[in-house]
Amino acid sequence: MKRIWTRWLPAAAVPAVVAVAALAGGAAAVSPPPPSTPEQVLALMASHASRPQFSGTIEERANLGLPSIPSQALGPATKSSTLGAEAAFLELLTTAHTARVFVNGPMLVRVQVMDQLAERDFIRAGSDWWTFDSKTNAVTHATIPTHGIGSDGNNPAEPGTAPKAPVVTPDQLAQRFLAAADASTNVTLGPSVTVAGHAAYELVLTPKASGTLVGSVQIAVEAQTGMPLGVDVYAKGQKDPAYHEAFTQLDLKAPDASIFMFTPPPGATVTQVPDPAKEGTQKAPSSTAPSNTAPKAPSNTAPKAPSNTAPSNTAPPSTAPKAPSNTAPSNTAPPSTAPKAPSNTAQGPTIIGKGWDAVVVIPAGDVPVGVLDTPLVKQLATPVAGGRVLSSSLLNIFLTDDGRVIAGAVPVATLIATAK
Amino acid sequence: MSLSETTAVTRQPLGVRLFASELSVLFRRWRTWAMLAALGAVPMLIGLAVKFSPKGPPSGRGPAFLDQITHNGLFVGVVALVVSTPLFLPLTVGVVAGDTIAGEAGLGTLRYLLAAPTGRIRLLVVKYVSSVVFCAAAALAVVLGGTITGAVLFPLGQATLLSGDTIGPAESFGRLLLMAGYVTVSLLGLSAIGLFASSMTTVPVGAMAATVVLAVVSQVLDNLDQLDWLHPWLFTDKWLALADLLRQPISWTSFGDNALLQLGYIALFGALAYGRFTTKDVLS
């Protein structure tokens, strides 16, 4: 048999075909019908407000310019009672997550965060709220009366101890951003996109204020139903989104009812959260914090937090800005002290400014002792005049020497100026 | 092989006959059975260790699902699959796939194989398919070892899935078989790489070592966060996503992604092996 170069052709053709397929897969966009002023898209989105039925997969990743911290390195810290919340927060910010979400109206919700060889679950079936962590085999259960539920399905009066979903859907996230899109924001329409096989309009929110680190926020809105499918937050001077969250798979049919049924598996440690009616007198649900802090911690980083602390919705809506300030004080409290929700305290954090460049200040009294000396903070913070700074492309946190925590989606200099 | 079987075989087309003889050669080797037995022993070791350890396995430590074993014995097989996936399984598959062409060349039997009117392409395909059969056999050996160990040592009760839902023994066994299928699919790309490596040399050990080393290197690269752009292209990337079959409802995305990825590797290294093997001078 002769040496013939044509016999090597298939070997050359395969990579070419793969490359073409990979490129074509990304470019296959279906353009939605053109209504399309930003106002129309906003109206479409508002019409969707009654939450529909769907099941889908959400992908979330942050690229904040923080050093990449592999989850293996954080593994032990996530389980420790003092560092749990912080480590979980860092893990959320530095590693990507995939979650499946099943929703059938506001009463039936299941969220599954799919970690490698592990899973964290949040299930809401009517008044029963459950969380399950497969690594620790721990279950939290709360019974919360179903009255007084907001239009977004979240109970506004929901106690801080209630189990919370470990992730937020693009829907919830988009609502937060839009609630904040007041006069300080330019709302325009970008080129339409395809998200999870659905044609979508892209709303672009651009802060008018120059003092913020947020470059723009892009929200993909499903063309037919008005359901937000994805949110990208761009930091100034960064090409890739600093925070990306979108559906990779979406089915608008009602999920199977059996998905929302949950009974604690045999052998699991079940922590019963006390009745919220008696809230205020209760202590921490358990002193073995890992089971609680693990599933709960990421949710505090969610944009839900601002509504607890902020007097109004005009607070900066970014997921990032407030989160750490909430996470750190409320969850890393030593197990012996009952964690108090920031909203219950007389003093509480204050918001300086309005809109995108607002800054939140937590007085020294609200920052639990020892939090600022934890090794994780020590390693990540850089010293500046008057304190230390945890810096990222979207968010800066200033830990002053006198114990205050000042955070916002603003440059470090602004934080330092605020501190004075 | 009995006389009637032999006559039945001779009536079948050339490729099938070659495949049958290839399989009988593979499964008559002591080496093949030793490797399968070693794989079957992995769950046995795990089961015995859990059974006779003074205190039960701590929750959340050790290999994933270890604490599930005492509830449902079938999870011995699950743990064994997870434990074997990074090294033991690639090792045995590397040995078989690396031996395909180079083994014949090393023994000096390759030219006799080609002297029969088989054709090089057909020989290549037959060799690959028989190594795929070994992949399935290897995964099943782990599952069978796990099932037997679990049934003997532990109760076959309710098993907890990753999502916190519980399933009975019958469904657990179904899931276990699905996982064996997943692992088999996972190893297809590696088999193709082994086939190509094997067509490069006449020293089978070299091809085996190259294949196994590649599997390890790929997993190391998969653990470097700095190379995250590369991760979706590594053939080991979806190996541990086999746990997606233990969620409720089953997440088929990773199964599909993995199959597509392995298909890409089969196409690429199959084509490379074709290019190499059809242009090579067979001297031995």
pTM: 0.78
Q: What pLDDT, on a 0 to 100 scale, did the predictor assign at position B30?
A: 93
B64/A118 CB distance under 8 A: yes
- What's the domain range around B45? 11-279
Residue B195: pLDDT above 90? Answer: yes
pLDDT at position B11: 58
Residue B223 lies in a domain: yes
Q: What is the pLDDT along chain A (420 residues), one digit of tens a residue?
A: 455 788 888 888 999 998 888 887 655 555 666 666 788 888 888 777 665 788 889 988 887 776 655 554 554 444 444 444 555 666 666 678 889 989 888 788 898 988 888 888 888 888 888 888 888 888 888 887 765 444 444 443 344 445 556 667 787 788 878 777 777 788 888 888 888 888 888 888 888 877 788 888 898 888 888 888 889 988 887 788 888 889 988 888 888 888 888 888 887 888 888 765 554 443 334 333 333 333 333 333 333 333 333 333 333 333 333 333 333 333 333 333 333 333 344 466 777 777 777 788 877 776 666 666 666 667 777 888 778 888 888 888 888 887 788 888 888 888 888 877
pLDDT mean across residues, chain B? 88
Contact B166 A263 (CB under 8 A): yes
First-to-last CA distance in chain B?
28
Considering the domain boundaries, does residue B61 fall inside one?
Answer: yes
- CA B35 to chain A, closest CA, distance in angstroms equals 26
Instruction: Tell me whether residue B152 is in a domain.
Output: yes
When pLDDT is cut at 50, 70 and 90, the band that residue B234 belongs to is: very high
Q: How many angstroms separate the CA atoms of A384 and A381, rounded?
A: 9
Contact B241 A116 (CB under 8 A): yes
Q: Which residues of A touch B241 (CB under 8 A)?
A: 116
Q: Which residues of chain B approach chain A closer than 8 Å at the C-beta? A: 59-60, 64-65, 67, 71, 82, 120, 157-158, 160, 162-166, 223, 225-226, 240-241, 243-244, 247-249, 251, 253, 264, 267-268, 271-272, 274-275, 278-279
Answer yes or no: is pLDDT of B219 > 90: yes
The strand pairing partners of A330, in sequence order, are: none
Domain assignment of residue B17, yes or no: yes
Q: Pairing relation of β-strands A138-143 and A269-272?
A: parallel
Kindly identify which residue of chain A lies nearest to residue B269, measuring between CA atoms: A11
Taking CA atoms, A268 is separated from A134, A415, B70, in Å, by 9, 45, 13
Q: What is the CA radius of gyration of chain A?
A: 22
Query: Is residue B80 situated within a structural domain?
Result: yes
Strand A128-133 with A138-143, pairing = antiparallel
B3 located within any domain: no
| Per-residue tokens: A83 | 């560092």
Position B6 in a domain:
no
At B104-142, the pLDDT tens digits run: 898 888 888 888 777 888 899 999 999 999 999 999 999
3-state secondary structure of A102: strand
In a domain, B4, yes or no: no
Q: How far apart are CA A106 and CA A151, in angstroms?
A: 8
Number of independent structural domains in chain B: 1
ipTM score assigned to the predicted complex: 0.79
Convert the pLDDT of each residue in B129-183 to its tens digit. 999 999 999 999 999 999 999 999 988 888 888 888 888 888 888 999 999 999 9
- How many CB pairs below 8 A link A and B? 100
Q: Which residue from A111, A382, A141 is spatially nearest to A285, judged by alpha carbons? A: A141
Separation of alpha carbons A295 and B94, rounded Å: 41
What pLDDT, on a 0 to 100 scale, did the predictor assign at position A50?
Answer: 60
Among chain A, residues having any CB pair with chain B shorter than 8 Å are 1, 3-4, 7-11, 13-15, 17-18, 57, 68, 70, 79, 100, 112, 114, 116-119, 121, 130, 132, 134-137, 139, 249, 256, 259, 262-268
